Structure 1
């Protein structure tokens, strides 16, 4: 068996950000600064860390970051009002509502309040539908990151059997659609799928997005398969048992430094694209 490729997400993200830096400079010359607004409800420490990371990345690239912090007791109506205020702000190009929100909030209603041209995280049902049809401006960021990694490493997709473990509306389902639109044959599974290990062994490309630490085992992986670990669990642990899967795979993403940094880069890319669309509309 040939040596396993380590699919380095930091390298892919760096290439995306290098391209963005030139585009941001071009926008700045026209007096436009791409702006991402992040909304954090409550004081979950992990969510606060993610929001801070995204804000820091914006600043390093010369983008603007607007942070909206709301108390944990915020109601659905109050959250939606805050989103509508950002919708109406022409200086804000992208809106990110940090997931999860407190359980008493109708998260889906809040997502739906985000204007489609500012839905840079791909969380609305309209954005989901556009992605399924293959023409979304801003597909969900983690699925788009997975596709970016496959493309950067020139991993063939057409004609391959992709097995996706996970069915969330912002990861498993949209990445299944994106792979299908690229002419893969796609099987979408989940943690309750019967004989899951047997199905995974059929996959030329395996995407783990089930939200369970070290869930995918090495003897599930067909020799020579490409393994994409889109999971992130406490302790920097993915959904794939990396040590047991590595010897079977032709290529594999690590956790951390795999899909995660590319996801953030895609979010910033979508925000820059939204600013570019606004610039074209005001010529």
Structure 2
């Protein structure tokens, strides 16, 4: 059976490092969490992030706008947070209500405060191999691999999924770590032929049990980023990944769902906030501070 790769121990190690580095600063790093509306899932996610921030010595503040808040009000709030020197990181909880356009919202955050790592400047720095704040889930995957001592350099890596949130930035991180990278997606013919080549297979397609045992190279490391809710019976649901559980009989190592990559995303968000606080104002990405 595959070696299990739970996210909790790796996330705790990353949080401990964030706490250690935050403690060396003259003042606690400040994280602004922006939420629009009262979607129960968004409320719970923001509350959880604020709680974790406090655990590692960060200051966090939740800025909640009403569901009907216009785009101009949200952009004005981000402008205020950008100008506040006590705020080192800004996160806008997604998804936003349908009347709000997320692209200009995310672009309005200063790159040096973009702890989600999704600003076009930070994505450009990533692809250029320059220091910068990295997207949380892809960076969390890399931290998970490092924690368990799994090789990346020289590995044949296949990513299933090309989203701007995971697949594309993860491809850049793996390339920067000297992996040979293939990105597969919904238009890839004979997906199994591609995934069977992978020594390192990372699946972020958003489709339950897309990857079956016959699609996995024996002994491969498999990272399941997907999280899907499936119904076993009316009114009964459970969470499962993009990788079928039977892959455990073929793979050499496998992340669980839930409890695999998920904890790494929040831990990386808090580490990004510390990295942003460490960087001198106006000097983001220079001198290698974002590492």
Deviation at 1:76, TM superposition (A): 2.2
Normalising by structure 2, report the TM-score: 0.90
Deviation at 1:22, TM superposition (A): 2.1
Deviation at 1:83, TM superposition (A): 1.1
Aligned partners of 1:143, 1:199: CA distance in 2, in Å?
Answer: 21
- Higher fraction of helix: 1
Are the counterparts in 2 of residues 122 and 141 from structure 1 also a CA contact under 8 Å? Answer: yes
2:116 maps to which residue? 121
1:94 maps to which residue? 89
- Is 1:264 matched up with 2:259? no
Structure 2 residue corresponding to 1:190, chosen from 174, 185, 192: 185
2:6 maps to which residue? 8
2:200 maps to which residue? 205
Are the counterparts in 2 of residues 121 and 139 from structure 1 also a CA contact under 8 Å? Answer: yes
Aligned partners of 2:183, 2:73: CA distance in 1, in Å?
Answer: 36
Deviation at 1:228, TM superposition (A): 0.5
1:36 maps to which residue? 31
Aligned partners of 1:71, 1:210: CA distance in 2, in Å?
Answer: 32
Aligned residues: 275
1:229 maps to which residue? 224
Aligned partners of 1:17, 1:104: CA distance in 2, in Å?
Answer: 35
Q: Secondary structure at the match of 2:206?
A: coil
2:131 maps to which residue? 136
Structure 2 residue corresponding to 1:171, chosen from 166, 169, 180: 166
Aligned partners of 1:240, 1:205: CA distance in 2, in Å?
Answer: 14
Aligned partners of 2:105, 2:70: CA distance in 1, in Å?
Answer: 10
Cα RMSD, aligned residues only: 1.7
Stretch of structure 1 that moved more, 116-125 or 212-221 = 212-221
Are the counterparts in 2 of residues 224 and 249 from structure 1 also a CA contact under 8 Å? Answer: yes
Deviation at 1:226, TM superposition (A): 0.6
Normalising by structure 1, report the TM-score: 0.92
Deviation at 1:146, TM superposition (A): 0.6
Deviation at 1:279, TM superposition (A): 8.3
Instruction: Structure 1: state its 5+ residue gaps.
Output: none
What per-residue deviation string (whole Å, max 9, x for no partner) do you get for residues 5-40 of structure 1? 11121111111112222222222xx2x111111111
Deviation at 1:192, TM superposition (A): 3.1
Are the counterparts in 2 of residues 122 and 170 from structure 1 also a CA contact under 8 Å? Answer: no
